[in-house]
Chains A and B, each alone.
Chain A
Amino acid sequence: MLEIKDLKVSVEGKQILKGLNLTVKKGEVHAIMGPNGSGKSTLASVIAGKEDYTVDGGSITFNGKDMLELSPDERAKEGMFLAFQYPVEIPGVSTINFLKTAISEIRQYRGLPPMEAKDFLKILKEKQKVVEIEANLTGRSVNEGFSGGEKKRNEIFQMAMLEPSLAILDETDSGLDIDALRIVATGVNKLRTKENAFVVITHYQRLLEYIVPDFVHVLYQGRIVKSGTRELALELEGKGYDWIKKEFSELAV
């Protein structure tokens, strides 16, 4: 589904990703862990197509299509979703209206007829339950005046509504208390199917107790330096990132 090959990315002349490889197949959940500054959020942003990054080499293909050729909205329309680490506020635009616009744009791109209002409302109610989000939140302006937890839950709610085939969760656990974390994780688990895939980016192992990954990768100094299964995450939890830093310090050169 997603294939990243030898990806090299820089920001303002500084190289952040230095030849990253990652393959995600449908039905899989991948966790990407790593210390601060290792390039985790850069990876999420580059996959989604954020402008501030320069791709110096390598490729990102998604369902056989070259993503680097597509604009951010086209990538989203292809079925890619990014749950933001810092969701943005859009004053005056209700989440419902926002999603209605998004869904109609996506459907148009895929050559589908517009969604009927009653179908939209039905799905809306259904998904509100899945992510345990209060109906009054979705009626309010997108993220405006939301608490940190509400913003993250709204991200998962939007993901549920848009039904992407690949969802990238960028540090969705940051700033969440344990209850909010559980709700977010439960939402994600309910949305897992054999047809979709998740890339969960996190600093801590904690989230992975709730969202159990099939693969765990350690990102360090712009490269994936170690891959394994869930046990790797536990090992990291026990030993901390210093162990990785020591072992791979020569990469820093």
Chain B
Amino acid sequence: MSGSNEILEEFVQGEYKYGFTSDIESDTLPPGLNEDVVRFISTKKGEPDFMLEYRLKAFRHWLTMKEPHWAHLHYPLINYQNISYYSAPKKPKEIKSLDEVDPELLRTFEKLGISLLEQKRLSGVAVDAVIDSVSVKTTFKESLSKLGIIFCSFSEAVKEHPELIKKYMGSVVPYTDNYFAALNAAVFSDGSFCYIPKGVRCPMELSTYFRINTAGTGQFERTLIIADEGAYVSYLEGCTAPMRDENQLHAAVVEIVSHADAEVKYSTVQNWYPGDKDGKGGIYNFVTKRGICLGNNAKISWTQVETGSAITWKYPSVILKGDNSVGEFYSIAVTNHMQQADTGTKMTHLGRNTKSTIVSKGIAAGKSNNSYRGLVKVNRGASNARNFSQCDSLLMGNNCGAHTFPYIEINDKSAQVEHEATTSKIGEDQIFYCNQRGIDTEKAIGLIVNGYCREVLNKLPMEFAVEAQKLLAVSLEGSVG
């Protein structure tokens, strides 16, 4: 033990070993993580001192922590010194037309029904200036700022709204929370910041789709959403298009604060590269997402469609602090080939008359493993707390696994908790029935799976739902027969 302590000391106290200085004109840091790297990131981003202090505290804490291995996931140990922690937003390789893009990627775009313009943007084709998203972004921002809504990149918020960042950052997910949250707090790249003032209903879905954030900020994303008293916002994260990223490790943090009478809806579609059929490559996605219903009658609703990543470790949670507050979690998690997902939620009831709903739909195909892990916790004094949980698993084929790990901790006698779970197999007779009506097997699976997921898909904003439906079909392509 003393040996490892020494190493820690060395890390914490370590001298400026690698000689990075802020004025080095470097776009990408060599692999490795130490305090200098943290300082470098902060300086490179021109952050105020408080942010650097925060990062350093997080980093020092991270060094004392161990990578968690309680999840039902198997992957080789991650060497954190083998990763580069800073790279300036890369200019995509200039591609002149879609003809130069990987035809397989184009085929997927087509199946997802993504517009030609969006296809070009996603695959890095130079888009002409008139339709550049910058102009869209500006008009969008103007109309929001009239209402007092702040919606900007996290880096921008650190500089322009430090008082809000100081007040809320880490208030829901402190850096001490878990290994990946600590890592993120130390080296986070960028992300979104959103503040809705008192009584304001955000008139549009706020979305990373609009590329408010610059591309390539993904690896250690950090998002903070605050809805002040009586405010409402619906926030969309992600993109249904396949995201190819060279970074294998992703550790994001999302924090939501919902004040009294406020409501935040957070929808995610995650379609990171899942690796190939044999499980080679693919993203490791370790995400900490949590919201707090701070005031009375507050509401937070998570909806997620997870189809990508080789490893998914993700539990969007709600702390129900205010009386009568409401937490919801609607989830679809699809795994195919060698993918592994361990995902679910935590609902922590602290206030009186608090209510939570959990609907989880897992779909496992190929040789994949799909686990639901959830905790419903009712603290003493959280009188009349109610929870309803429904966890369904759908299996396709005989080589996949579905697992459910529901935890329930009740410390108040007045609590009412319901849990329902089903496991079913996609039936060959269902497929044959569709076939006999003229629907081919691939489409039939899409239809059956979308039917199975309908309760969750219904919670997504319209446009997102349509794309998510197509995405489900594409993700399960070739998984039967």
A residues contacting B by CB (< 8 A) are 48-51, 71-73, 75-77, 81-82, 84, 87-93, 97-99, 101-103, 105-106, 109, 141, 158, 162
Contacts and interface: CB of A to CB of B under 8 A. Distances in A.
A162 B452 contact: no
B439 A88 contact: no
A76 B436 CA distance: 5
B234 interface: no
A92 B435 contact: no
A81 to B, nearest CB: 7
Contact of B430 (A88, A106, A109): A88
A109 B432 CA distance: 18
Contact of B447 (A87, A88, A101): A101
A99 B439 CA distance: 10
Contact of B448 (A48, A51, A90): A90
Given A76-B437, A84-B433, A92-B455, 20 more contacts: A49-B435, A50-B432, A51-B428, A72-B435, A72-B436, A73-B435, A73-B439, A73-B441, A89-B430, A91-B452, A92-B451, A92-B453, A92-B454, A93-B454, A101-B439, A101-B443, A102-B434, A105-B440, A105-B443, A158-B437
Nearest to B435: A72
Given A84-B433, A88-B430, A141 B451 contact: yes
Given A72-B435, A101-B447, A141-B451, A90 B430 contact: yes
B379 interface: no
B439 A102 contact: yes
A90 B430 CA distance: 7
Nearest to B430: A88
B128 interface: no
B246 interface: no
B439 to A, nearest CB: 5
Contacts of B433: 84, 87-88, 90
Contacts of B452: 91-92
Interface residues of B, number: 23
B447 A98 contact: yes
Given A87-B433, A88-B427, A88-B430, A93 B438 contact: no
A109 B436 contact: no
Nearest to B452: A92
Contacts of B434: 73, 90, 98, 102
Interface in B416-449: 427-430, 432-441, 443, 447-448
A71 B432 contact: no
A206 to B, nearest CB: 26
28 contacts: A49-B435, A49-B436, A50-B432, A51-B432, A71-B435, A71-B440, A72-B432, A73-B434, A73-B438, A76-B436, A76-B437, A88-B432, A90-B433, A92-B452, A92-B455, A93-B447, A93-B450, A93-B451, A93-B454, A101-B439, A101-B447, A102-B438, A102-B439, A105-B438, A105-B439, A106-B438, A141-B451, A158-B437
A91 B451 contact: yes
Interface of B: 427-430, 432-441, 443, 447-448, 450-455
Contact of B450 (A92, A106, A109, A158): A92
Nearest to A45: B432
Contact of A162 (B435, B438, B455): B438
Contacts of B448: 90, 93
Contacts of B453: 92
A88 B448 CA distance: 12
Nearest to B454: A92
A103 B438 CA distance: 8
Contacts of B455: 92
Contacts of B439: 73, 101-102, 105
Contacts of A105: 438-440, 443
B354 to A, nearest CB: 29
Contacts of B451: 90-93, 141
Contacts of A81: 436
Q: Which 9 A-B pairs have the closest CB atoms?
A: A92-B451, A93-B451, A72-B435, A92-B454, A76-B438, A102-B437, A88-B433, A106-B438, A73-B435
Contacts of A162: 437-438
Contacts of B441: 73
Chain B CB within 10 A, most for which of A75, A82, A87, A92: A92
Nearest to B448: A90
Chain B CB within 10 A, most for which of A71, A84, A99, A105: A105
Nearest to A82: B436
Nearest to A76: B438
B436 A48 contact: yes
Given A87-B433, A92-B452, A73 B440 contact: yes
B445 to A, nearest CB: 11
A24 B453 CA distance: 43
A172 to B, nearest CB: 14
A151 to B, nearest CB: 11
